[in-house]
Amino acid sequence: MLESITENRIINDLAKRFRRSPLQKNMLHESDSEIIVFNNTCGGSIAVTIDSISEEIETGLYEDPYLIGWMSVMVNFSDIAASGAEPIGILISEILPAHLSAEYVDRIQEGINDAVLKCGSFVLGGDTNSGEKLILTGCAIGRSSENTYLKRTGCRKSDILYSTGKLGKGNAYAITKLIDKNASPYIYLPEARLKEAAVIKKYASCCMDTSDGLIAALDQLLRLNNCGFKLISDWLSTIEEEAKKTAESIRLPQWLLLAGQHGEFELLFTIPEHIEADFLGETNMSDWKPVKLGVVTDNQTLIINLYDKMVSLDSCKLRNLPFLTEGDINKYLQNLLEYDHELRETATVPG
């Protein structure tokens, strides 16, 4: 079932030879970071993750060196947050083409530094190489003083689905960079939800970040948990206002802001119904308002109210589209629009 998704198949194939460490507490796909417990007697454990920024630079999605530096930190600390860990620090390997100016490189470092400060954390080390293409790889390390972590698995029927913030921001930004270059600039500078994660951790049954957008994340969760999700009828209210305007400006159906695969690095998490009030009680005392998205169901599908019908989305198709269209953004967009048209005409009506 996981293998219906091209990305999962690629990962399984790359990892097929590797034996698992007995110290590792998560299975493949099961967690945004790797959870390693290396000293049971006194709770020595870490969460660790690695992520490269390369495709985003190559496609022109990330052009500003400050953003490139910022993202190399945030994508990694977002995984640390999704695991319910506090950040210890990050190591960054930079492949720097010789033609980059000193100012350009300095802006990358500024982005890295500001992101690390924003996360209250540190650059612990790094590596630098020359190369033809600019690539940044971050490896972030976190820990949990209680020795407990969040995973992508664990949600159950009737748990309530939340995100840390409004959605669609990553895809709105991608529209302005890749589809309509004349669109008004969209400010995209996501922050890893570390502070929120510390609260979420006390209540959530599972957690994952929306690095690939909402629908990709829900698709992965439904495969891992043998569950489904039903989004609230008023899903439009979960999309950020500026993002909506961007979609409008190119006449893109708003729900596609949830389907595109450039995410906003919010955390997606589920709260068991019987402790939802406690959870909301705690968040009410802070300035953070979690966004209610829907509910966990027991049949493995993703339900959304579209065009006044209850639609079961083909999230498998949506997730595999970038591979099918081989990185051609126009072809990708056209496929999305065709699928939207199909839904408009012949929506399936689940039971």
How far is the C-alpha of 173 from the C-alpha of 181, rounded, in Å? 10
C-alpha closest to that of 126 among 117, 114, 113: 113
Structure tokens at 155: 């949600």
Q: Is 100 in the site for a second copy (CB under 8 A)?
A: no
Closest CA to 145 of 201, 75, 204: 201
Q: Which of residues 49-88 bind a second copy (CB under 8 A)?
A: 49-52, 54-55, 58, 88
Q: Cβ(338)–Cβ(317) under 8 Å?
A: no
Cα–Cα distances (Å) from 205 to 225, 269, 300, 308, in that order, read: 11, 7, 17, 31
For residue 329, give both structure tokens.
């953004």
* CA–CA separation, 108 and 74 (whole Å): 13
- In angstroms, the CA 319 to CA 212 distance is 9
Spell out the alpha helix ranges (H) of the chain.
6-15, 55-58, 65-82, 102-118, 169-174, 194-203, 214-225, 241-249, 256-259, 276-284, 315-324, 329-345
Q: Which two tokens stand for residue 167?
A: 């959605």
Q: Does 300 bind a second copy (CB under 8 A)?
A: no
Q: Least distance in Å: CB of 123 to a second copy? A: 4
Binding a second copy by CB under 8 A: which of 4, 100, 110, 154? 110
What radius of gyration do the chain's Cα atoms show?
20
What distance in Å separates the CA atoms of residue 220 and residue 261, rounded to the nearest whole number? 13
Nearest distance from residue 351's CB to a second copy, in Å? Answer: 38
Task: Establish if 127 lies at the interface with a second copy (CB under 8 A).
Answer: yes
Which of 3, 12, 27, 39 is in the footprint of a second copy by CB under 8 A?
Answer: 39
Pick the closer one to a second copy by CB: 33 or 176: 33
Q: Which CB atom, from 110 or from 276, has the smaller least distance to a second copy?
A: 110
Output DSSP code: residue 275. Answer: G
CB neighbours of 180 closer than 8 A, spacing ≥ 6? 249, 250
Q: Which is nearer to a second copy, 55 or 180 (CB)?
A: 55
Of 52 and 300, nearer to a second copy (C-beta) is 52
Residue 46 within binding range of a second copy, rule CB under 8 A: yes
Q: For a second copy, which residue of 100, 123, 306, 347 counts as binding (CB under 8 A)?
A: 123
Question: By CB under 8 A, which span of 109-117, 196-204, 215-223, 249-257 interacts with a second copy?
Answer: 109-117
To a second copy, the closest distance from the beta carbon of 330 in angstroms equals: 18
In whole angstroms, what is the distance from residue 21 CA to residue 77 CA? 23
Place of tokens 């949600």: 155
Is 141 an interacting residue with respect to a second copy (CB under 8 A)?
yes
Q: Is 303 in the site for a second copy (CB under 8 A)?
A: no
3-state secondary structure of 31: coil
- Piece of 123-131, 280-288, 311-319, 330-338 that binds a second copy (CB under 8 A): 123-131
> What x-and-dash track marks residues 320-339 binding a second copy by CB under 8 A?
------xx------------
Q: Is residue 275 involved in binding a second copy (CB under 8 A)?
A: no
Does the protein bind a second copy through residue 344 (CB under 8 A)? no
- List binders of a second copy among 9-28 (CB under 8 A): 10-11, 14-21, 23-24
Applying CB under 8 A, does 36 fall inside the site for a second copy? yes
By CB under 8 A, the residues from 252 to 271 that bind a second copy are: none
Residues lying near a second copy in the complex (CB under 8 A): 10-11, 14-21, 23-24, 33-34, 36, 38-39, 41-44, 46, 48-52, 54-55, 58, 88-89, 91-95, 98, 105, 109-110, 112-113, 116, 121-133, 135, 137, 139, 141, 143, 326-327
